Amino acid sequence: MTNDPIRVLSTRPLDGVPGHEGSEACSVDNPASRVIRELLARVGDKWSMLVIGVLHDGPLRFTELQRKIDGISHRMLTQTLRSLERDGLVTRTSYPEIPPRVEYAATALGRSLSEPVIELARWASAHHSEILDAREAFDDQHEASATLR
Amino acid sequence: MTNDPIRVLSTRPLDGVPGHEGSEACSVDNPASRVIRELLARVGDKWSMLVIGVLHDGPLRFTELQRKIDGISHRMLTQTLRSLERDGLVTRTSYPEIPPRVEYAATALGRSLSEPVIELARWASAHHSEILDAREAFDDQHEASATLR
DNA sequence: CCGGATCCGGCCGGATACTG
DNA sequence: CAGTATCCGGCCGGATCCGG
């Protein structure tokens, strides 16, 4: 059993805060929250989005993926691929040759996911500098520690 | 100093895999990868997206946020808000009253982020059942352990 | 009401070794 | 080449106490 990480998600309790019958709408069941949580559980990990992104250009073998992604360990690549396969986002086809060859490809579902992901990436690259500026300004203003001692 | 989590990101080395002059494009500097990494570092954590989402509807006070998000601890809300403020995604305005009152609001930048996030959420909610089905099928087929012993 | 500080458990994820 | 299993450090994040 690979009872390690990425065994993941979704089967979370998400219990409905009993004890509070609630004065107003209590937003636990707010669909947006639930969806975002599940989303994060699925692609919020360190590598899933990258794999999805890389596979968008076409099928790749295990080792090719590992070289493309650079920084991912053997172990995490295996696990990430497994969980993506489980969720129907990639397919795994192994050719019984010597040496063995295994190809991973994005499914239609996987490719459909990469579109909004690319949207997000576009946002990030468009506003990257703004964020850096804001961060610098914030850090400047909070050098209170220096002025203090 | 709050040298705890979310001190985050971005200043990652991302060294260019020296040693391989590379036969083809080696994709480390693939802009997509870099951008996605930074993106995850920023909003891939457990709460940032939720805060952004909740604040999209209008400013809220600290305690209101905590009730809205439900499940977030006092500590993580503070930290998340801090990092979002630092990156220019939310503003913090404190009214010097007794008792103190502090309001958090999304900036224009923050609201612009919530759009692609909502796109993603839309995808998730649209394909949620497909994922569950795929997962179930996968798990069925992998009850090999049961048939084995 | 707001938020910082400390303690601490749990999981994420890297390194490594071993199998086919 | 592809995949599994084990060990282990580090950070995420919850509980709690304290201070403004």
Taking only the tens place, the pLDDT of each residue in A29-42 is: 567 788 888 888 88
Average pLDDT, chain A: 79
So what's the pLDDT on residue A120?
87
Closest CA to B110 of B34, B43, B64: B43
| Annotation: CATH topology of A48-148 | Arc Repressor Mutant, subunit A (1.10.10)
pLDDT in tens, B88-103: 999 999 998 888 899 9
Residue extents of the structural domains in chain B: 48-148
Chain centre to alpha carbon of residue A29: 23
Give me the pLDDT at residue A32, please.
73
CA–CA separation, B53 and B69 (whole Å): 10
Q: Which residue has the higher pLDDT, A56 or B149?
A: A56
Distance separating alpha carbons of residues B121 and B116, to the nearest angstrom: 9
Round to a whole number and report the distance in Å from the CA of B97 to the C1' of D10: 41
* pLDDT, chain B, mean: 78
Chain A hits for B125, CB-CB cut-off 8 Å, are 31, 35
Q: Side chain identity at A63, as an amino acid letter?
A: T
Query: B interface mutation test: which of A33, A43, A82, A141 has the most B CBs within 10 A?
Result: A33
Cβ contacts from A onto B, under 8 A? 161
Q: Is the pTM of this model over 0.85?
A: no
Tens digits of residue pLDDT in B47-83 = 999 999 899 989 999 999 999 998 899 999 999 999 9
The whole-angstrom separation of Cα B83 and Cα B92 is 11
pLDDT at A12: 30
Instruction: Please choose, from the candidates A123, A33, A54, A88, the residue with its C-alpha nearest in 3D space to the C-alpha of residue B139.
Output: A88
* Chain B residues close to A87, C-beta within 8 Å: 131, 134-135, 138
Q: How far apart are the first and last CA of chain B?
A: 55
Residue B92, classed as helix, strand or coil, is strand
Give the per-residue pLDDT at A98.
Answer: 83
User: Least CA distance to A69: which residue of chain B?
Assistant: B28
Q: Please, which residues 18-57 of chain A have a Cβ atom closer than 8 Å to chain B?
A: 26-28, 30-33, 35-40, 42, 44-46, 49-50, 53-54
